[in-house]
């Protein structure tokens, strides 16, 4: 079974765990560096990015998260999570993790009264996706290897860059698990390899 | 087609606050301290509850200048308080673009009979509750987030604990009841039958419920999380303490790691003096803010 971590410092943790489990994977809450061991992938949920960053620093997670990214394992950021992943945050000095080749702008649709729901057509999904945007960021620039998966009102709201997936909205707030499922499919399959993987092998 | 102010958008905003600390602030400087400490939002007001209690008189919506100053100072969401039933204060705050309105018993009620019809607004509302009946009525009117009332401005956690335990005990009872018992329970609680059916189906309240009214230390915040709160509001507890910056940081961290007891011990060392509290029995019945609203 795929083991997927959810950064559990603040925000919509419960919803992501529910969505991962609904897709048949095992969800694991991550609060400390040791919780990153043996994960196949990691979700950075929605919440307040400034709060999460403070808590990441105080849990000593910033370097372990960058190491996790270097290991090549898939990472998915929604809203605040996307801000944490981005290579650059407009108007801010240093990025947070700075691992995904996109530049984002925070609160770029306005304040809470400007928050909205919309039907999106997303590359790779057949039917439209009902998306909830809450004080959402958007992607203002992408690197050459980044694939734009969705735009709304001329703004990029979802993209994939190698092992990284990011979106402005909150798929975790709806009961539609297609995006979680899309992310889980980014985890390299173990059954496709010729030799049994390490975990299975050690039990033989 | 974009839809604004839907239940999902309004309730979803509160979901994003989960596990966080929302701090009362009275100016831009305090707002910046709160943001730097890791608050998930700030509540802009003219006086913190303990000062309102001390000064007496009528407590109203803050001077818009203060709210505006706070909104300019930080990038995290800004909440503000309107008096219970004060339609115009609420509309003014909405027009100013505050991110959440607290229809709050901390201010002097404008209407002793009717709360705001909150589902008429694009801006979401948070309201206080002491039990499942109050929670149901506020959600029925359109509240998108709840907080237990506690007893604001006292630095005494006892009422917040009482109210959170009460709400959660009543939720558990509804969940275990058989469906044919729910109508009678709805009558007893003063809640709608449909609401109780939803609580039973979900196994919890349909909106986020924070704890409020008496949190003064990191251990208080962790206690409320332990009892099942989704997050905490801290009113006077931070800026009435000896060292607001350290209290704010410690309370944020204790809320996230509420079962990290060794960590909470470390966080609580040499914090300085917490706000001076008030024993609840010394507050005259007519001065208990939790009795406001119904």
Residues of chain B with pLDDT under 50: none
A147-192 pLDDT tens trace: 999 999 999 999 999 999 999 999 999 989 999 999 999 999 865 4
pLDDT at B268: 96
Q: Which of residues 34-63 of A touch B (CB under 8 A)?
A: 46-48, 50-51, 54-55, 58
Q: Does A147 touch chain B (CB under 8 A)?
A: no
Q: Which residues of A are catalytic?
A: 79, 170, 172
List Cα–Cα distances, B124 to A54, A134, B143, B147, B188, in angstroms.
26, 12, 7, 14, 28
What pLDDT was estimated at residue A201?
Answer: 46
The answer to whether A190 contacts chain B (CB < 8 Å) is no
pLDDT of res. A65: 98
**Interface contact flag, B18 A11, Cβ < 8 Å:** yes
For chain B, domains (ranges, CATH) are 7-274 (3.20.20.70)
Q: What pLDDT was estimated at residue B285?
A: 82
Decide if B253 and A55 are in contact by the 8 Å CB cutoff: yes
Give the mean pLDDT of chain A: 93
The reported pLDDT for the residue numbered B1 is 81
User: Residue A33: what pLDDT?
Assistant: 97
pLDDT (mean) for A87-103: 95
Q: Which residue stretches of chain B are H helix?
A: 7-15, 28-37, 49-55, 64-73, 87-96, 132-141, 158-176, 182-189, 193-202, 218-226, 236-239, 244-256, 261-268
Tens of pLDDT along B114-138? 999 999 999 999 999 999 999 999 9
- The string of pLDDT tens digits covering residues B184-213 is 999 999 999 999 999 999 999 999 999 999
Number of domains within chain A = 1
What is each CA distance from A179 to A88, A186, B241, in whole angstroms? Answer: 24, 11, 45
Distance (Å) from the alpha carbon of A160 to chain B's nearest alpha carbon: 23
Q: Residue A141: helix, strand or coil by DSSP?
A: strand
Q: Binning pLDDT at 50, 70 and 90, where does residue A92 land?
A: confident
Whole-prediction pTM:
0.95
Name the residue range of residue A15's domain: 3-201
What would the two tokens of residue B143 be? 């509240």
Instruction: Determine the Cα–Cα distance for residues A41 and A54; give it in Å rounded to an integer.
Output: 22
Residue A62 sits in a domain whose CATH number is: 3.40.50.880
Instruction: Give the pLDDT score at A191.
Output: 55
Calculate mean pLDDT across residues A114-139. 97
Q: B interface mutation test: which of A6, A7, A10 has the most B CBs within 10 A?
A: A10
């Amino acid at each position: 079974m795929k083991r997927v971590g959810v950064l559990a410092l603040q925000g919509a943790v419960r919803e992501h765990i529910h969505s991962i489990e609904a897709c048949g994977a095992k969800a694991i809450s991550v609060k400390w560096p040791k919780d990153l061991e043996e994960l196949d992938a990691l979700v950075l949920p929605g919440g307040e990015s400034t709060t999460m960053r403070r808590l990441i620093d105080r849990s000593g997670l910033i370097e372990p998260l960058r190491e996790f990214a270097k290991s090549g394992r898939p990472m998915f950021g929604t809203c605040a999570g996307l801000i944490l992943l981005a290579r650059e945050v407009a108007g801010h000095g240093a990025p947070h993790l700075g691992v995904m080749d996109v530049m984002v702008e925070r609160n770029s649709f306005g304040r809470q009264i400007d928050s909205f729901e919309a039907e999106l057509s997303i590359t790779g999904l057949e039917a439209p996706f009902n998306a909830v945007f809450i004080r959402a960021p958007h992607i203002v620039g992408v690197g050459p290897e980044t694939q734009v998966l969705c735009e709304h009102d001329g703004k990029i709201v979802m993209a994939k860059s190698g092992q990284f997936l990011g979106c402005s909205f909150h798929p975790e707030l709806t009961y539609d698990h297609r995006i979680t499922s899309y992310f889980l499919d980014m985890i390299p399959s173990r059954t496709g390899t010729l030799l049994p993987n390490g975990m299975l092998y050690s039990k033989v | 087609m974009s839809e604004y102010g839907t239940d999902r958008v309004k309730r979803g905003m509160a979901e994003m606050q989960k596990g966080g600390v929302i701090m009362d602030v009275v100016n831009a400087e305090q707002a910046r301290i709160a943001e730097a400490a890791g608050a998930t939002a700030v509540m802009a007001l003219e006086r913190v509850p303990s000062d309102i209690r001390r000064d007496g008189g009528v407590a109203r919506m803050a001077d818009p200048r203060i709210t505006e100053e706070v909104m300019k100072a930080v990038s995290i969401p800004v909440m503000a308080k309107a008096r219970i039933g004060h339609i115009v204060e609420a509309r003014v705050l909405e027009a100013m673009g505050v991110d959440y309105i607290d229809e709050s018993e901390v201010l002097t009620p404008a209407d002793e009979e009717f709360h705001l019809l909150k589902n008429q607004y694009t801006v979401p509302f948070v309201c206080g509750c002491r039990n499942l009946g109050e929670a149901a009525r506020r959600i029925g009117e359109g509240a998108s987030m709840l907080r237990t009332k506690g007893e604001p401005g006292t630095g005494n956690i006892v009422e917040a604990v009482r109210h959170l335990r009460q709400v959660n005990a009543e939720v558990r009872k509804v969940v275990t009841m058989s469906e044919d018992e729910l109508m009678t329970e709805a009558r007893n609680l003063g809640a709608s039958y449909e609401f109780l059916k939803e609580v039973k189906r979900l196994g919890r309240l349909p909106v986020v419920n924070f704890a409020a009214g008496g949190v003064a230390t990191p251990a208080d915040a962790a206690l409320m999380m332990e009892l099942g709160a989704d997050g905490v509001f801290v009113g006077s507890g931070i800026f009435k303490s000896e060292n607001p910056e350290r209290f704010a940081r410690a309370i944020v961290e204790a809320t996230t790691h509420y079962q990290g007891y060794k960590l909470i011990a470390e966080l609580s060392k040499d914090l300085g003096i917490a706000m001076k509290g008030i024993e609840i029995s010394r507050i005259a019945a007519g001065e208990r803010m939790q009795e406001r609203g119904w």
